[in-house]
Structure 1
Amino acid sequence: MLTERRRTRAPEASRANALHPGAWWIWALGLGTAASRTTHPLLLALLIGTAGYVVAARRSDAPWARSYGAFVKLGMAVLGIRLVFAVFLGSPIPGTHLVVTLPEVPLPHWAQGIRIGGRVTAEGLVFALYDGLKLATLLICVGAANALANPTRLLKSLPGALYEAGVAVVVALTFAPNLIADVQRLRAARRLRGRPDRGLRGLLHVGLPVLEGALERSVALAAAMDARGYGRTAEVPPAVRRTTAVLTLGGLLGVCVGTYGLLTAEGGSYGLPLLLAGLAAALGGLGLGGRRSLRTRYRPDAWGVRAWLVSASGVAVAALLIVSGSHDPAALHPGVVPLTAPSLPLWPAAAILLGLLPAFVAPAPAQAPSSKESS
């Protein structure tokens, strides 16, 4: 008699109900957009916790899903480098709370405004901490998307015009997770044999097999791409090619100008119309460019209700943080002069918690059968 399995709030992931990988990227980019709108350390920590909880709840056991820890370490390294720069290169923030005074290196007159060493204040360090934490949060959000979205399925969902560029991006995204998995596997094998896996000697003995494996994967990938006819295109009329180039380039330029207008206070009137026009032109160019692609999709991923909920949660977090920042900028950007402890703004914090929705609506990763389950 089969024992009753543990029930989850969402169904177990399968090929039929797997979440569209684009939904994960929209959700993560929404969290990253929200992080770019604030320097509040508590809100940034809440964004990191939200991304980490969703990754822990919905990450699979695939090799590319193990890269989240590497992105977290990279974010912490960026934060540490930002603090080191603030200590040795100074900070533009004036402060009265002196921490330490370092020996200052004299610089020529043409390097005015730059210093090496000198006074290190608590205000400057806190400002660097806020600034570095924002960049670290952006990296962690990208790492969450990389750990949750299947890069192969994401490539299959791209428009035909972006297939070649998508292959390059997917290969780049999967290189780091596979490299990390190879390093962990080789280090574990050396430890089991009683050999050192740290230091310069361990690095040399681990690095060479890792590079050899990367080269073998590259050769196998090139052979597989050649066997599948990668790079072959269909013939299209010259007028269609020129129209595609004009629409794509013009649309991307409109997107860049519109985004710049939205990010600046002076461009609020023209930013949104240019952004929408640029997106429409770019989508038209991509649609025409897809005529050159000869490939077909086998069992394309469906964009279902759960994908809409996941992507909408990320968009909602970004939109609510943008609206909150326009109404009360001081709540999202706490000052450091005078040096005071920031208080948690409740409405932005509640908006960020909407990003936890994928942990409850996205299909749960398939679990290995337990030893207690028997018939």
Structure 2
Amino acid sequence: MPDRTATALHPGAWWLWALGLGTAATRTTNPLLLALLVAVSGYVVAARRPDAPWARSYGAFAKLALAVIGIRLLFAVFLGSPIPGTTVLLRLPEVPLPDWAQGIRLGGKVTAEGLVWALYDALRLAALLICVGAANALANPSRLLKSLPGALYETGVAVVVALTFAPNLIADVQRLRAARRLRGRPDRGVRGLLHVGLPVLEGALERSVALAAAMDSRGYGRTVQVPAAVRRTTTALTVAGLLGVCAGMYGLLTAAGGSYGAAVLVAGLGAAVAGLWLGGRRTPRTRYRPDRWDARAWLVAGSGAAVAALMSVAAVRLPGTLKPGVIPLIAPELPLWPAAACLLGLLPAFVTPPPNQPKSPQSPKSPEEPS
């Protein structure tokens, strides 16, 4: 029987790839580029998503993205937009507000420029949510928890439980609704929701009890004694690393700190990694069949990093194209080399192994068939 861990991709590579696409989405408001990033993530998910309950959350993230777009447009209609416009689409009754609420309005004129600006801003957040949904649909959360360093094990368990709650809840609702349809009972509306809600909560409680028992049987939360000097060094390195990462990111995001931002960020990351390595000595753990970070994982993570880096460069060199203006209203253009950079995100669909599919049973041969 072949080892599945030998052919499956490291879950951290999927998250780095998705975060790279999400970072690229935050660098632009061009709807054509954002749609291309969403299409790239959707194609990779369709090609490499396994048949597992936690892998069915991509549709929920897509629906959440559509809801974000709708809510953002409603806010722009009823609460106004900071973008002044001249193309008035409609006028709503305006509610007068006191002087201390200057800058906020309820109702009034709705302009095309304000709606388009709100749509561009909402599309950026929607694309980021869909990229995170792609990571949830491709990376096995249990294997991701197994790959975390010992110092982050307890935090990782909480994060994994939180991330798997929604997919398991969706799977339970779909299973119970299908069972009610087979019995000829209503599965929609308030009545169907009330009848499905109690079994779903019961299943969630049973999973929580089973998870607690499994964690206790595996010695979760037990630590070993380490010297006081090691504990103090771990704390100092971790705090210094976090401060360095924050200062480095601030330097990279501001024009004044461009000279020192990268160096401080690298130093902070090194201190944080050293602190995590020392902190892992308090929680010794063994891993059964650890996931290997092989060449395919480097290619997948590198493709996401390349998309993020190239889009960041494009945001500096082509600011007018990556962030199209709305005053006056102009049709967005598709820049060629940033679009080609987005297509680099398709690499995981060709270099990663296909998901493991259950084998169909072979039919027995008839006596007339040759052996």
TM above 0.5, one fold?
yes
Instruction: Render the CA deviation track for 1:70-98: whole Å, top value 9, x for unaligned.
Output: 01111111111111110111000011111
Aligned residue runs from structure 1 range 279-358, under 5 A: 279-358=269-348
* 8 Å Cα contact 1:13-1:363 kept in structure 2: no
**Bigger Cα displacement from structure 2, 361-370 vs 241-250:** 361-370
How far does residue 238 in structure 1 lie from its aligned partner after superposition?
1.3
Residue of structure 2 in register with 1:115 after alignment: 105
Decide whether aligned partners of structure 1 residues 106 and 13 sit closer, same or farther in structure 2, where only a CA change above 3 A counts: farther
Separation of aligned partners in 1, 2:3 and 2:162:
26
How far does residue 192 in structure 1 lie from its aligned partner after superposition?
1.3
How far does residue 102 in structure 1 lie from its aligned partner after superposition?
0.7
Instruction: Render the CA deviation track for 1:148-173: whole Å, top value 9, x for unaligned.
Output: 00111100100110000000001111
Residue of structure 1 in register with 2:199 after alignment: 209
Separation of aligned partners in 1, 2:183 and 2:255:
62
Determine which of 32, 49, 64 is the counterpart of 1:42: 32
Decide whether aligned partners of structure 1 residues 373 and 125 sit closer, same or farther in structure 2, where only a CA change above 3 A counts: farther
Aligned residue runs from structure 1 range 206-245, under 5 A: 206-245=196-235
Separation of aligned partners in 1, 2:55 and 2:95:
46
- SS of aligned partner of 2:305: helix
Number of corresponding residues: 364
- SS of aligned partner of 2:7: coil
Instruction: Render the CA deviation track for 1:290-349: whole Å, top value 9, x for unaligned.
Output: 100122111211111111111110000001001111112111100011001101011100
TM-score (norm 2): 0.95
Residue of structure 2 in register with 1:6 after alignment: none
Q: Unaligned stretches of 5+ in structure 2?
A: 366-371
Q: Could you tell me the percent identity over the aligned residues? A: 77
Decide whether aligned partners of structure 1 residues 344 and 144 sit closer, same or farther in structure 2, where only a CA change above 3 A counts: same
* 8 Å Cα contact 1:29-1:142 kept in structure 2: yes
* 8 Å Cα contact 1:13-1:365 kept in structure 2: no
Q: Does 1:52 align with 2:42?
A: yes
How far does residue 266 in structure 1 lie from its aligned partner after superposition?
2.7
TM-score (norm 1): 0.94
* 8 Å Cα contact 1:13-1:366 kept in structure 2: no
Residue of structure 2 in register with 1:162 after alignment: 152
**Bigger Cα displacement from structure 2, 315-324 vs 364-373:** 364-373
Q: CA RMSD in A?
A: 1.4
After superposing on structure 2, the runs of 4+ consecutive aligned residues of structure 1 that deviate more than 6 Å are 371-375
Aligned residue runs from structure 1 range 165-180, under 5 A: 165-180=155-170
Q: Unaligned stretches of 5+ in structure 1?
A: 1-11
Residue of structure 2 in register with 1:105 after alignment: 95
Instruction: Render the CA deviation track for 1:172-212: whole Å, top value 9, x for unaligned.
Output: 11111100000000111111112111111111111111111
Determine which of 131, 148, 169 is the counterpart of 2:121: 131
Separation of aligned partners in 2, 1:135 and 1:172:
21
Residue of structure 2 in register with 1:278 after alignment: 268
